[in-house]
Structure 1
């Protein structure tokens, strides 16, 4: 059976290869994937999230730069995500942002909880405002009530 860190490293390699099946092979069938954009439950929803990410950023690459070595479960990693926004990106209000051609560099962290050799819960944290600003979006005044 793979260690928590072996599984976490396998997930990172699968994401960088944009190998959706290899990504899904890391998760349990009833896994939960938590992101700033929302929560995906089960392999079908998790697959959808990764498909959208790979379409939006076809050159997406994760570079881990810190792993919390004294911790096994959860396996905690800090990483940098880079890519170029060339495909559609679903925005929080339901609109789709067409590819902007803009590069992104995001600082992120994630906690991966493993049970029975598969990821049960994967929690990812990054600053959405940082992402949207790099894509050329800005804050707007709130609509009057």
Structure 2
């Protein structure tokens, strides 16, 4: 399973093993953040070398996985401490298309964990807009 290989590479901070999980022309999308889309294994390497450098104790927990044909879903918790002492904590899901053991495309639904945000009532009110009386 590709997600388990990714988890092992993250925990080992093995950039070569990590980037080896992606096709050279890998296409990445973050559907909730359209400007973050990119193409290429090289960009994967730039992204993760920065994370490995800035979060020296970065670890990945693989919470759940599912596979259907050539698509793999994984639920993640990535965490550690940045060099400046601030926490790094992300949770979410990746959906990846797999061919010949490499990710050819990925949709990332990961967000920084919010510790003290608004509650559900305030969120629904903000999302739905003001009530019409």
TM over 0.5: yes
Matches within 5 A, 1:103-114: 103-114=87-98
- Is the contact made by 2:90 and 2:113 (CA closer than 8 Å) also made in structure 1? no
Aligned to 1:139: none
Q: After superposition, give the CA deviation of every residue in 1:79-107 in whole Å (9 maximum; x if it has no partner).
A: 21111011xxxxxxxxxxxx3x1223332
- Is the contact made by 1:30 and 1:42 (CA closer than 8 Å) also made in structure 2? yes
DSSP-derived class of the 1:22 partner: helix
Q: Distance in 2 between matches of 1:18 and 1:72?
A: 29
* TM-score under structure 1 length normalisation: 0.67
- Is the contact made by 2:91 and 2:112 (CA closer than 8 Å) also made in structure 1? no
DSSP-derived class of the 2:114 partner: helix
Matches within 5 A, 1:55-66: 55-66=53-64
Match of 1:25 among 20, 23, 31: 20
Aligned to 2:75: 78
Question: Which structure has the larger Rg?
Answer: 2
Structure 2 gaps, min length 5: 118-133
Match of 1:67 among 60, 65, 68: 65
**Structure 1 residue 117, shift from structure 2 partner:** 2.5
- Is the contact made by 1:75 and 1:112 (CA closer than 8 Å) also made in structure 2? yes
Aligned to 2:39: 41
Q: Distance in 2 between matches of 1:66 and 1:129?
A: 18
Aligned to 2:100: 116
The size of the alignment, in residue pairs, is 113
**Aligned CA-pair RMSD:** 2.3
- Is the contact made by 1:40 and 1:49 (CA closer than 8 Å) also made in structure 2? no
